[in-house]
Amino acid sequence: MTDVINTMPGMPRAAPLESETPKPAVDAITGEKHRSEFDVEINGTVGKPLVDNAKMSSRNCDVFYGDKQAIFGVDLDIGNNEIIAMIGPSGCGKSTFLRVLNRMNDTISICRVTGEHTLDGEDIYGKKTDPVLLRARVGMVFQKPNPFPKSIYDNVAYGARLHGLASNRSELDDLVEASLIKAGLFKEVKDDLQKPGTGLSGGQQQRLCIARAIAVDPEVILMDEPTSALDPIATATIEELMDELKSNYTIAIVTHSMQQAARVSQRTAYFHMGKLVEVNDTDKVFTNPEHQLTENYITGRFG
Amino acid sequence: MSNSNSTEIIRAGLKKRYAREKRFRLFGIASLMISFAFLLVLLFTIVSKGWPAFQQTYVKLDIELDESVLKVNSNSDEDALYSANYQKVVRASLNKMFPGVSGRKKKRDLRNIVSNSAAYTIRDDVLAEPKLLGTKQTYWFLAKDDIDVFMKGKIDRNLPEDERRLKDYQFEWIDKLIEEDRLEKRFNTVLFSNGDSREPEQAGMKGAIMGSLFTMLVTLMLSFPIAVAAAAYLEEFAPQNNKWVDIIEININNLAAVPSIVFGLLGLAVYINYFGVPRSTPLIGGLVLTLMTLPTIIIASRAAIKSVPPSIKEAAIGLGASRVQTLFQHTLPLAMPGILTGTIIGMAQALGETAPLLMIGMIAFVAEVPTGVLDPSTVMPVQIYLWSDSPERAFTERTSAAIMVLLGFLVAMNLIAIMLRKKFERRW
């Protein structure tokens, strides 16, 4: 991909960094060899990937799909009640890393995850850890709104019913209402709770999915490009929602929109070809990045 | 290359493209018309042939239940009443109506105006109400098949006498019966209330219908859960890129193409000879047809399960549902329309299957209506085969009628499939 951009007329060619010599590299995902000035050697992560009050943390995270390695030795902490954004070009491993955090990769049989990963200091890949309990504590919102083909009420109530969080009907009603209010959807659907969730608009569906995730009362919410299928107005609603949610939840969001990362997050992590290049406060990443690759990406030279 | 140039090239090719499209559409319509025409011819032939079988000729006879002829009276015990010769009173009644018939052959022909079931009808009546003895009763009996065939216009009077089944003197009797309003065509309830019989007028397909029903029940109960479980395991739980899983998959696909008679041989060798399952029963039939149906349902179910959007499964797993919960709460309900379609296709195939059943003794002549999966029985397609093989003229119509009933069952099954699909179909 970088080759194409470099040879495109009208694009400024970035000068090779002084210390690095261009050499062939193997793309982590496709296995293609390519040669360009952007094949900068990535030696560890610059910035401050580690924080004091970590809610979740990963050390030496490697992820393999069969023989191919998708993530190379990532160290990253996610602080309590913060929003951390993960950005990077397609195939850089940011979504894969997100799915490490609630063991969604378990569903892919050829996927292998190594390293140490903890939630509140507990090993989430440990023998004692139950993935079901983990996913109840670390909820997830997906790229494409994926409500169940059930009523709005049943969508939100699903997780609570699954884990037995409500002991009777009125408790469940309250929980559904509270979750819909938190997700900013209640006003729009309060008279239509028995209508199918799939009948809502795209933005409403995504907020329904958020309501469904927070109904389980998770501590961390992982969002995998939650607004990439939505229009700007729906996107703005969801970004406001994230801002409100941040006081109660820890949020990790993967996004392709740098504006979104800049708007909602406190810290930003930049991934490149399976490696974590830079983690810094969002302001710093977008105004004064430490790493050349980060700068190339946020200035739109590739991605 | 300038823009106008490419426009020219595209425009030049347009006509050809549209012509090709039109030609293809015509082919499609033509093939539809041809298959529709064949279907119409088929249905017309079967219905026009089988229609008369839904009517049956009855003869009205006045029967004197003479105690001295029957050698029993209303105080006799049940055994005596059961074994009395009721044929005699039927014969006496006919002799009274047509006096002066002589010669063995003519006498037999006279007796053969009514079906020999007439005696059983009287016997059953007398057993139920012994006080009838000594009285005079009017009965409508089944007419013998030759009379029935004539009444349906299938015997030509104008043929030379030695070329037709009924002789001139028989026509005289029939004419007299018609004159006295003693012959009548009625809806053929016998077809649905009797088992098979060597006498066409007494032959019904209740035995075959019940046999088919029990066989299908066994097949459905075994093949549906096994096939859905197999498909769900292969799609959702089996390790990917595993040699054993690959071998199993290839074998399932191959099994779907195995000639069905081979399954019959397998059933004979394994179920009957090794496990000692009783032959000729719906149980063994169902077991064999299960083998045949399994690959069909498994393949359809796997396709249906595969077509469930992974986003739904991810949503459930992301909320903390276990894999089994995801399977039963989301994947299977969403795949159910496809699974049901596959099941109905498999069951329809099994319902019409004859070859494997020949191997396991379901071709036997069974007059009794089966009451369970362990009773000897036959099934509808085998019944059709048996009747089509019988020499009596009256069986021709019954064969077509049986085909119509079988087709009716298939249509009913398809309707159920459509209804179930509508019920389970959800948008996502």
Q: What is the pLDDT of residues B317-329, one digit of tens each?
A: 988 888 899 999 9
Identify which has the larger pLDDT, A167 or B233: B233
Strand partners, A86: A254, A269
Which residues make beta-bridge pairs with A279? A47, A269
Considering the domain boundaries, does residue A48 fall inside one?
yes
What Å distances lie between residue A40 and A17, A70, B309, CA to CA?
A: 8, 17, 39
Per the structure block, which two tokens stand in for B366?
A: 């069974």
| A197 vs B: CB within 8 A | no
Chain A hits for B428, Cβ within 8 Å: 148-149, 198
Mean of pLDDT values over A289-296: 88
Chain B residues with CB-CB distance to A136 below 8 A: 319-320
**Cβ atoms of residues B110 and B94 within 8 Å:** yes
Mutation choice for A interface testing from B240, B307, B308, B319 by most A CBs within 10 A: B319
Helix (H, G, I), strand (E, B) or coil at A264: helix
B15 in contact with A, Cβ within 8 Å:
no
Radius of gyration, CA atoms only, chain A: 20
Report the alpha-carbon distance of residue A109 to residue A121 in Å, rounded.
27
| Partner A contacted by B325 (CB < 8 A) | yes
Taking all residues of chain A, what is their mean pLDDT, rounded to a whole number? 83
Phi-psi region of B280 (alpha: psi -120 to 50; beta: other; left: phi over 0): left
Q: What pLDDT, on a 0 to 100 scale, did the predictor assign at position A52? A: 85
Does residue B92 sit at the A interface (CB-CB below 8 Å)?
Answer: no
C-alpha torsion sign, points A196, A202, A205, A209: positive
**8 Å CB contact of B314 and A104:** yes
φ, ψ of residue A122 in degrees (nearest 5): -95, 140
Count other Cβ atoms within 10 Å, centred on residue A60.
12
Q: What integer is the mean pLDDT of A50-72?
A: 90
Q: Do B319 and A139 touch (CB under 8 A)?
A: yes
Number of continuous H segments (helices) and E segments (strands) in chain B: 19, 3
Contact B315 A148 (CB under 8 A): yes
The reply to whether residue B312 touches residue A102, judged by beta carbons under 8 angstroms, is no
Minimum-distance CB partner of B320 among A107, A149, A159: A159
Pairing relationship of beta strands A83-87 and A267-272 according to DSSP bridges: parallel
Q: Which residues on adjacent β-strands are paired with residue A272?
A: A275
Q: Is A230 inside any structural domain?
A: yes
CA dist A37 to A19, B104, B349, Å?
12, 115, 65
- Extract the tokens encoding B383: 């019944």
Instruction: For residue B428, give the chain A residue with the closest CA.
Output: A149
Assign A21 a pLDDT band (cuts: 50, 70, 90). Answer: very low
CA distance A76 to B109: 103
E runs forming strands in A95-236: 111-119, 122-123, 138-141, 220-224
CA distances from A258 to A2, A84, A127 (A): 19, 13, 38
**A246 touching chain B per CB within 8 A:** no
Residue B365 identity? F
Helix (H) / strand (E) element for A145: namely none
Separation between Cα atoms, residue B36 and residue B421, nearest integer Å: 25
CB spacing of A136 vs B320 below 8 angstroms: yes
Chain B residue closest in CA terms to A216: B319
Q: Considering its fold, how many domains does chain A have in total?
A: 1
**d(Cα B15, Cα A95) in Å, to the nearest integer?**
49
Place of tokens 């955090």: A101
Question: Residue B303: its pLDDT value, please?
Answer: 94
SS3 B241: coil
Structure tokens at A89: 């070009």
- Interface contact B427-A147, CB threshold 8 A: no
Q: Taking CB atoms and an 8 Å cutoff, what residues of chain A touch B330?
A: 148
Q: Is the pLDDT of residue A13 over 50?
A: no
**HEC secondary structure over B190-203:** HHHHCCCCCCHHHC
Distance, CA of B261 to CA of B234 (rounded, Å) = 27
Q: Hey, is the C-beta of A133 within 8 angstroms of any chain B C-beta?
A: yes
Interchain proximity B428–A198, CB inside 8 Å: yes
Q: Looking at the predicted structure, is the pLDDT value of residue A111 above 70?
A: yes
Of the candidates A218, A195, A214, A216, the one whose C-alpha atom is nearest the C-alpha of residue A206 is A214
Q: Which residues of B91-111 are buried (b: 16+ CB within 10 A; e: fewer)?
A: bebbeebeeeeeeeebeebbb
DSSP state, residue B58:
E
Could you tell me which residues come within 8 angstroms of residue B174 by beta carbon, excluding any fewer than 6 positions away?
Answer: B147, B150, B166, B183
Q: How far is CA B341 from the centre of its chain?
A: 21
Task: Note whether B223 and B293 are within 8 A (CB).
Answer: yes
| CATH classification of the domain holding A96 | 3.40.50.300
Q: Which residue of B has its CA nearest to A133?
A: B320
Provide the shortest C-alpha distance from residue A160 to chain B (in Å).
9
Each residue's pLDDT tens digit, A173-232: 999 999 998 888 898 898 989 998 888 988 899 999 999 998 988 999 999 998 888 888
Distance from CA of A249 to the nearest CA of B (A): 16
What per-residue confidence (pLDDT) applies to B265?
93
Closest chain B C-alpha to A96 CA, distance in angstroms: 14
pLDDT at B425: 77
> Is residue A258 over pLDDT 70?
yes
Measured between CA atoms, the residue of chain A closest to residue B315 is A146
Of A109, A159, A198, nearest to B319 by CB-CB distance is A159
CB contact under 8 A, B325 and A162: yes
Q: How many residues does chain A have?
A: 303
DSSP string, B258-314: S-HHHHHHHHIIIIIIIT-PPTTSHHHHHHHHHHHHHHHHHHHHHHHHHTS-HHHHH
What ipTM does the predicted assembly reach? 0.78
Residues of A in contact with B235 (CB under 8 A): none
- The answer to whether the Cβ–Cβ distance between B319 and A148 falls below 8 Å is no
* Structure token digits, residue B53: 């079988």
CA distance B76 to B199: 31
A183 and A207 Cβ atoms separated by less than 8 Å: yes
pLDDT at A29: 55
Q: How far is CA A16 from the centre of its chain?
A: 31
Q: Which pTM does this prediction carry?
A: 0.80
CB contact under 8 A, A148 and B330: yes
Q: Do B319 and A104 touch (CB under 8 A)?
A: no
Is A162 within 8 Å of B426 when comparing Cβ atoms? Answer: no
Q: How far apart are CA A45 and CA B317, in angstroms?
A: 32
Answer for the pair B296, B252: CB distance below 8 angstroms, yes or no.
no
Label the pairing between strands A46-47 and A275-281.
parallel
> Is residue B152 helix, strand or coil?
coil
**pLDDT at position A147:** 92
Contacts of B44 (CB under 8 A, 6+ apart): none
Please count the residue pairs, one from chain A and one from chain B, whose beta carbons lie less than 8 angstroms apart.
68
In a domain, residue A303? The reply is no
**Ramachandran sector of residue B55 (left: φ over 0; alpha: ψ -120 to 50; beta: rest):** beta
Nearest to A156 by CA among A226, A215, A217, A203: A215
Q: Are B403 and B43 in contact (CB under 8 A)?
A: no
The answer to whether the CB atoms of A198 and B427 lie below 8 A apart is yes
Query: Contact at 8 Å (CB) between A267 and A282?
Result: yes
Count of CB atoms situated within 10 Å of the CB of A182: 19
**SS3 state at A142:** coil
Residue A212: list chain B partners with CB under 8 A.
315, 319
Residue A191 belongs to domain spanning: 2-298
Any B CB within 8 A of A121 CB: no
Residue A50: what pLDDT?
A: 86
Query: CB B320 to CB A147 under 8 A?
Result: no
Tell if the CB–CB gap between A142 and B311 is shorter than 8 Å: yes
Which chain B residues are closer than 8 Å to A146 by Cβ? 309, 311-312, 314-315
Phi, psi of A138 (to 5 degrees): -120, 95
Q: Which residues of A touch B317 (CB under 8 A)?
A: 104, 107, 135
3-state secondary structure of B123: helix
Q: How confident is the model at residue A61 (pLDDT cuts 50, 70, 90)?
A: very high
Cα radius of gyration rounded to whole Å, chain B: 31
Give a yes or no: residue A159 inside a domain. yes
Per run of 10 residues, the mean pLDDT along chain B (length 428 residues) is: 77 90 96 97 91 89 86 83 87 88 87 88 87 87 89 84 84 88 89 88 91 94 96 89 88 90 92 90 93 94 93 90 91 91 91 90 86 90 91 88 92 87 71
Mean pLDDT within A120-129? 88
Tokens representing B376 are 């000897």
Specify whether the CB–CB gap between A188 and A208 falls below 8 A.
no
Suggest the residue from A108, A132, A200, A225 to mutate for an interface test with chain B (most B CBs closer than 10 A).
A132
Euclidean distance between CA atoms B410 and A31, whole angstroms: 54
Q: Tokens 């079901």 belong to which residue?
A: A132
The answer to the question of residue A271 being in a domain is yes
* Residue of chain A whose alpha carbon sits nearest to that of B325: A162
Q: Which of A50, A53, A58, A104 is nearest to A222 (CA)?
A: A104
Instruction: Tell which wins on pLDDT, A6 or A274.
Output: A274
**Residue B54: enclosing H or E segment and its boundaries?**
none
Q: Which of A146, A149, A163 sits opposite B314 (nearest CB)?
A: A146
Counting runs of H as helices and runs of E as strands, what totals does chain A give?
A: 11, 13
Q: Which helix (H) or strand (E) holds A164?
A: none
- CA dist B322 and B339 (Å) reads 22
pLDDT score recorded for residue A17? 41
> B313 burial class (0-12, 13-18, 19+ CB within 10 angstroms)?
buried
Residues of chain B in contact with residue A159, where contact means CB-CB under 8 angstroms, are 319-320
User: β-strand B55-64 against B136-142: which pairing, if any?
Assistant: antiparallel
